[in-house]
Structure 1
Amino acid sequence: MKNLDIDQLLQEIFDDGPEFSVKQRFEDKITEYGISKTKALKLLNIDKDVFAEILDGTAKQPNLIHIVKVAEFLDIDVHKFIKMVLKNQSSDNIASIDRARKVKFLMKNFDVKALTKRGFFDSGDDIDHLVQKVLSYFGFDSIAEYESQVVEPLYSRSKRPFSDKMKDFWVRSAYQTFGLINNPNSYDRELLKDTLVKIKPYSQDVNNGLYIVSRALYNAGLTVIFQDYFETTHVRGATFNINGKPCIVITDYLKKYPNLWFTLLHELHHVLFDYETVISNNFHLSDDQDLFLIEEKANSFARDYFLPIEGFHYIKHYINNPYMVERFAKEQEIHPSLIYSFYTWYQNELYGKNFYGAFKEHYPTCKSAVSKLNPITWKEESIKDASKKIKEVFELK
């Protein structure tokens, strides 16, 4: 007997298919063999009541050995016969099988506890509601459709541990969003380079700067979206290759405004200088577990773009004078919070001093900075609805 594909089997019993009468097939076979029903069951060593329960679907736990013997007697492929038997089960048995299938689907693909904590699931939801939430969010009508169309696994490049489920979810969300947005502009690397040198001053405009820059990048064939940061993933940003075009995700890592701009420039470095590697892997996650790209080069690129070390050595003498910091920030054409942010990094890197708790009053909130980008927070909208709104934002005339 060939190996049974349990996933396929469970999927097929819920698919519509031609009706097949096992009882009629049995009657035809005993007529063909010229034996009675009693004789057939005696030869098969199956009690007539047990046989009736198998055919009627009333057996709560059909004996697999009996099912295999009947399948052989009826000259039916065992896989097909099991499917017939399962399809013929009572409504209660079918419901229990369906529940098991849904539980496996959720446990295999999602960290339900973590997603509930983030507000994606409601704590009181039953299995049916949890599954429906996932399917609605990703835009699928059934588990079978989800499993046939979602790339699996997107994140894994090796055996994936349990903790990667949230990372997979985050990646799938971005992957589906970029696919639905489907930037119509051709990727123009030269236009991207021209746009890059003009980005810095827009960091000064907290409410509109990121939005304006993202629209300019969209016209260069590069799509930027914002997704909430998942604490367990350690993913601060990501670069994707979707339909042959670069796409970037930025997050509210550490909930600090300067990190939005730092992450954007970090990912733009990957687009400009590491894109062939991104293409070969479909995407690159900027996290603390990266094995494929040299993250420090991208970090240095972003730091030097906003505040090279010479700027730090100048401003460190005046860092406690808000007036001097603001004036210096205007000279550098950046928001003052970036001065404070890079100052704390340089102090730690060069002198081992921790200033990360300082200057909080000078940091704008991320919420106002990304609001016009229709941020994906996983609370209410489906990916389809969110992608439509993002596309409208980028293509607004």
Structure 2
Amino acid sequence: MMTTYTATDPQFDFAPQPGRWLQRELDHQAISQAQLAARTGLSTKHINLVIKGTAALSPEVAVTLEQILGTSAEAWLHMEAERQIHQARKDRSRALAGFVDWASSFPRQLLIDRKVIEKTDVGSELAAKLLDFFSVASPSAYTKTWLEPQASYKRSQVHSIDPNLTALWLRLSEQHAERLMANAPAYDAAKLKAAAEHLPKLTVTEDVAEAFIQAQQLLLTAGVVLVFVPEVPNTRISGVSRWINGTPMIAVTSRYKALDSLWFTILHEIAHVLLHPKRSTFIDEGFKADDDADAQETAANTFAQDHLIPADYRAQLTRNTTEKGIVSLAKTLGVAPSLVAGQWSFRTKIWGGPIAKLRKKIDLAELLS
């Protein structure tokens, strides 16, 4: 009768060792390695290498041992798989030790604040957590997946930015969108156009958080996922539009902490989805950026401006010189005075004074918390 061993046998070093089990079976049945070689047709050297763990125990050998020793081939192969997995994890652990410097280059407190890592994560564990977060196997894979594509992203600003922190924010936006993407219908451009027409009407809602949630639901009916992700320092991002597995995602921040900036950014990103589908990722700073040299950014800006202040009202907008006039125009358009004031400042380049004070300050991070 064969001896039974399990994965928790104390003589096994963390993982079952098929070679060790094989030697114990041979001892139990009083069979030498040379005799086993003769019975199986394998060389004594190969039997010895399997016992030492130097050679893998193949399915062919497992079936042969099943016939000779009575232990199922499945049992042998299960142990061999466990041994290889155990060895791979040891190799992985050694590799992670070499990734610590890379992981340490990210701002630690920021990673903790954004719940990417725990306070106790250090060394190899820190590297493992960060690789898991970016869903890559190594720093070189991270570079190919998250840094190299940034060269093709369209940005509406000329400021220097931190590519690692941009990657961090983009990954956070993906994570925020995952739940909504799971239930998103197929993208429908006609429904998105209709949603863009309706969005400015939501700006009069006193509860900005509720208005944003309504906007999320409205865009989701068009197959577009809208999420809010607080800005990461040194990224200068107000919003992004990108396609993820065939679903358009729009993510926005509260970069300027102004109501008009938030809604302008949402409309700007909707324009990219509608006008430049599946072409690239667009990372935007906001409507104060100099986009004249980029036709696609100019088109997105024009789209947002037209939806906030239709062309027929542009002359009336710029003629206004009083708060009362701005409020009156906003009432006529059915939008918040903050949006009209923001467009007035943009067109007149006057960012201070009584009219500019109509621009409502908000922090969506606080409101949505």
Please state which band the TM-score falls in when normalised by the shorter chain: 0.5 to 0.7
Structure 1 position 113, deviation (Å): 5.7
Q: Does 1:103 align with 2:100?
A: yes
Q: Does 1:195 align with 2:195?
A: yes
Relative to structure 1, the CA distance from residue 343 to residue 243 in structure 2 (aligned partners, 3 Å threshold; closer, same or farther) is same
The share of aligned pairs that are identical, in percent, is: 21
State the distance in 1 between where 2:202 and 2:150 align: 40
Q: Does 1:284 align with 2:285?
A: no
Relative to structure 1, the CA distance from residue 245 to residue 370 in structure 2 (aligned partners, 3 Å threshold; closer, same or farther) is farther
Q: Do the aligned partners of 1:153 and 1:168 also contact (CA within 8 Å) in 2?
A: no
Relative to structure 1, the CA distance from residue 179 to residue 150 in structure 2 (aligned partners, 3 Å threshold; closer, same or farther) is farther
Letter in 2 for 1:332: L
Picking from 157, 160, 178, the partner of 2:149 is 157
Tell which deviates more after alignment, 190-199 or 218-227: 190-199
Tell which deviates more after alignment, 114-123 or 267-276: 114-123
Q: Do the aligned partners of 2:191 and 2:222 also contact (CA within 8 Å) in 1?
A: yes
Picking from 243, 252, 257, the partner of 1:250 is 252
State the distance in 1 between where 2:290 and 2:167 align: 14
Q: Do the aligned partners of 1:121 and 1:130 also contact (CA within 8 Å) in 2?
A: no
Residues paired across the two proteins, number = 279
Q: Does 1:338 align with 2:339?
A: yes
Q: Which residue of 2 aligns with 1:53?
A: none
Q: Which residue of 2 aligns with 1:220?
A: 222
Q: Do the aligned partners of 1:183 and 1:221 also contact (CA within 8 Å) in 2?
A: no
State the distance in 1 between where 2:298 and 2:311 align: 15
Q: CA RMSD in A?
A: 4.5
Structure 1 segment 1-397 matched on structure 2, within 5 A: 100-107=97-104, 111-112=106-107, 115=110, 127-128=122-123, 130-131=126-127, 134=130, 138=133, 144=137, 152-157=144-149, 163-181=162-180, 182-207=182-207, 208-278=210-280, 283-287=281-285, 294-308=296-310, 311-319=313-321, 321-348=322-349, 354-356=350-352, 359=355, 361-367=357-363, 371-372=367-368
State the distance in 2 between where 1:357 and 1:277 align: 40
State the distance in 2 between where 1:178 and 1:152 align: 22
State the distance in 2 between where 1:359 and 1:123 align: 46
The secondary structure found in structure 2 opposite 1:153 is: helix
Deviation string 1:30-84 (CA, Å, 9 cap, x unpaired) is xx99xxxxxxxxxxxxxxxxxxxxxxxxxxxxxxxxxxxxxxxxxxxxxxxxx98
State the distance in 2 between where 1:192 and 1:117 align: 36
Relative to structure 1, the CA distance from residue 219 to residue 311 in structure 2 (aligned partners, 3 Å threshold; closer, same or farther) is same
State the distance in 1 between where 2:175 and 2:277 align: 20
- In the alignment, structure 1 segments of 5+ residues that lack a partner are 1-14, 22-27, 34-82, 89-93, 349-353, 375-397
Q: Do the aligned partners of 2:161 and 2:235 also contact (CA within 8 Å) in 1?
A: no
State the distance in 1 between where 2:346 and 2:204 align: 20
State the distance in 2 between where 1:289 and 1:16 align: 61
Relative to structure 1, the CA distance from residue 244 to residue 362 in structure 2 (aligned partners, 3 Å threshold; closer, same or farther) is same
State the distance in 2 between where 1:17 and 1:326 align: 76
State the distance in 1 between where 2:330 and 2:365 align: 18
Q: Do the aligned partners of 1:106 and 1:112 also contact (CA within 8 Å) in 2?
A: no
State the distance in 2 between where 1:159 and 1:229 align: 21
Relative to structure 1, the CA distance from residue 174 to residue 258 in structure 2 (aligned partners, 3 Å threshold; closer, same or farther) is same
Tell which deviates more after alignment, 219-228 or 178-187: 178-187
Q: Which residue of 2 aligns with 1:76?
A: none
Q: Do the aligned partners of 2:106 and 2:164 also contact (CA within 8 Å) in 1?
A: yes
Structure 1 position 211, deviation (Å): 1.7
Structure 1 position 139, deviation (Å): 9.5
Q: Do the aligned partners of 1:186 and 1:220 also contact (CA within 8 Å) in 2?
A: yes
Deviation string 1:258-311 (CA, Å, 9 cap, x unpaired) is 111101110111111100313xxxx33225799987211101111121125653
Deviation string 1:202-250 (CA, Å, 9 cap, x unpaired) is 1111412222122011112111001112341122211121221211111
Relative to structure 1, the CA distance from residue 341 to residue 114 in structure 2 (aligned partners, 3 Å threshold; closer, same or farther) is farther
Q: Do the aligned partners of 1:312 and 1:343 also contact (CA within 8 Å) in 2?
A: no
Greater Rg over alpha carbons, structure = 2
State the distance in 1 between where 2:185 and 2:323 align: 43
Relative to structure 1, the CA distance from residue 270 to residue 155 in structure 2 (aligned partners, 3 Å threshold; closer, same or farther) is farther
Letter in 1 for 2:271: H
> Following TM superposition, where does structure 1 have runs of at least 4 consecutive aligned residues deviating by more than 4 angstroms?
15-21, 116-126, 128-136, 146-152, 158-162, 287-293, 356-361
Q: Do the aligned partners of 1:240 and 1:284 also contact (CA within 8 Å) in 2?
A: yes
Structure 1 position 120, deviation (Å): 5.8
Tell which deviates more after alignment, 286-295 or 235-244: 286-295
Q: Under a length normalisation based on structure 2, what TM-score does the superposition of the two structures give? A: 0.60
The secondary structure found in structure 2 opposite 1:241 is: strand
State the distance in 1 between where 2:16 and 2:179 align: 32
Q: Do the aligned partners of 2:330 and 2:336 also contact (CA within 8 Å) in 1?
A: yes
State the distance in 1 between where 2:244 and 2:341 align: 35
- In the alignment, structure 2 segments of 5+ residues that lack a partner are 1-13, 21-32, 34-43, 46-85, 153-159
Q: Which residue of 2 aligns with 1:63?
A: none
Q: Do the aligned partners of 1:222 and 1:245 also contact (CA within 8 Å) in 2?
A: yes
Q: Do the aligned partners of 1:239 and 1:285 also contact (CA within 8 Å) in 2?
A: yes
